[in-house]
């Protein structure tokens, strides 16, 4: 199934996406710590309150996750373009919930950074929590998948050895448009592409992840308990603007689109923060 987090008439809701309509779920206003797969499946559908998908404002799939764990250097093509060594353990860093925006939101470039870059990624949403989850059991803990753009301020990322400053800017990480349940997509072999103003800048496959989804969930859950609604960003393939010659960064008026086959298309218009 496919689900959307959305706002309609000023009310935040979660609904099942059916074609061009969204059917609100009774009793589910957000995907979060209490949202297990059973909750989504069993929630009554308010079919009489169905809304046209074009009439709603899409929110981040998970509006207020307790944790967002991001993975760096998880494609060989990205490792090659950065000149870094192949990691033996996932490169992990956090983002904050305040950084998320929905599929209908513009990306507002902050005035402090002149090197805003794109990173198309698969996002995994946890549906069943746990600590020290075995790799073989990890798929049972997934609620679903969505698309993310791990926007990065490169000039801030490289100010020091801890590049977190380039990753945690408020309202700069698009997440959406929908949550797709694992039974709906062969995510292990799906293609992933990023297109900037009509030109393809990233083109790869999730089959090329160095650390696949289960091999991320297991070590992450060793160091911190995962809870429903937590989000894992699985890393970006080669083709980021910072590694181009000459370098390319996002500017006012750009449109950047991240597509993952079977998961969705996340299109973001770039503006300037007022």
pLDDT band at 270 (very low <50, low <70, confident <90, very high): very high
- Flag whether pLDDT at 260 surpasses 90: yes
Residue 84 above 90 pLDDT?
no
**pLDDT for the residue 173:** 98
**What's the pLDDT tens digit per position in 94-118?**
999 999 999 999 999 999 999 999 9
- Which residues touch 68 (CB under 8 Å, ≥6 apart)? 94, 95, 96, 97, 99, 100, 173, 230, 231, 232, 233
Contact assessment for residue 27 and residue 42, using Cβ atoms and an 8 Å cutoff? no
φ/ψ of residue 271, rounded to 5: -130, -170
- Residue 111 is given by DSSP the state T
- The tokens describing 73, both together, are 């250097």
Nearest-angstrom CA–CA distance, 32 and 2: 16
State the average pLDDT over residues 132-146. 98
Segment 189-200 mean pLDDT: 98
* pLDDT at residue 165, as a whole number: 96
Record the tokens describing residue 136, joined without a space: 């073989």
Q: Is the pLDDT of residue 202 over 90?
A: yes
Q: What per-residue confidence (pLDDT) applies to 201?
A: 98
pTM for the whole structure: 0.97
Residue 237 has pLDDT above 90, yes or no: yes
- Cα separation of 7 and 101, whole Å? 13
**Distance from C-alpha of 17 to C-alpha of 38, rounded to nearest angstrom:** 17
Has residue 3 got a pLDDT over 90?
Answer: yes
Q: Token pair 């950047």 is at which residue?
A: 256
Calpha distance 109→91 (Å, rounded): 26
Cα(217)–Cα(194) distance, rounded to whole angstroms? 25
Q: How far apart are CA 55 and CA 168, in angstroms?
A: 30
Low-confidence winner among 54-68, 73-87, 169-183, 256-270 (lowest mean pLDDT): 73-87
User: What domains does the chain contain, in order, with CATH numbers?
Assistant: 2-58 (no CATH), 68-272 (3.90.850.10)
Phi, psi of 166 (to 5 degrees): -90, 0
Instruction: Take residue 260 and report the two structure tokens written for it.
Output: 């993952």
- Taking a C-beta distance cutoff of 8 angstroms, is the pair 208, 237 a contact? yes
Q: What is the mean pLDDT of the chain?
A: 97
Find out whether 149 and 97 touch, Cβ atoms under 8 Å: no
10 Å Cβ neighbour count for 26? 11
Cβ neighbours, 10 Å, residue 258: 26
Enumerate residues 6+ apart whose C-beta is below 8 A from 121.
147, 148, 149, 150, 192, 233, 234, 235, 236, 258
Give the span between the Cα atoms of 24 and 111, in whole angstroms: 38
pLDDT in tens, 153-183: 999 999 998 889 999 999 999 999 999 999 9
């Amino acid at each position: 199934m496919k689900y959307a987090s959305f706002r309609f008439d000023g009310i935040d809701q979660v609904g099942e996406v059916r074609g061009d309509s969204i059917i609100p779920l009774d009793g589910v206003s957000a995907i979060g710590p209490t949202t297990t797969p059973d909750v989504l499946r069993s929630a009554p559908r308010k079919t009489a309150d169905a809304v046209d998908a074009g009439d709603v404002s899409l929110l981040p799939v998970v509006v207020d996750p307790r944790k967002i764990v991001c993975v760096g250097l998880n494609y060989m093509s990205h490792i090659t373009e950065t000149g870094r060594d192949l990691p033996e353990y996932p490169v992990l860093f956090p983002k904050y919930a305040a950084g998320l925006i929905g599929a209908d939101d513009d990306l507002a470039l902050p005035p402090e950074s002149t090197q805003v870059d794109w990173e198309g990624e698969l996002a995994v949403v946890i549906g069943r929590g746990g600590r020290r989850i075995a790799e073989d059991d990890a798929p049972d803990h997934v609620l679903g998948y969505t698309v993310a753009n791990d926007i990065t301020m490169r000039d801030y990322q490289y100010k020091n050895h801890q590049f977190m400053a380039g990753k945690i800017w408020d309202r700069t990480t698009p997440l959406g448009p929908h949550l797709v349940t694992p039974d709906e997509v062969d995510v292990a072999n799906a293609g992933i592409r990023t297109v900037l103003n009509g030109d393809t800048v990233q083109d790869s496959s999730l089959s090329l992840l160095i650390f696949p989804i289960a091999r991320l969930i297991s070590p992450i859950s060793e160091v911190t308990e995962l809870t429903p609604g937590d989000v894992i960003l699985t890393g970006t393939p080669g083709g980021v603007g910072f590694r181009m010659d000459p370098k390319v960064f996002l500017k006012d008026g750009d449109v950047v689109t991240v597509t993952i086959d079977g998961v969705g298309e996340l299109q973001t218009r770039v503006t300037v923060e007022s």
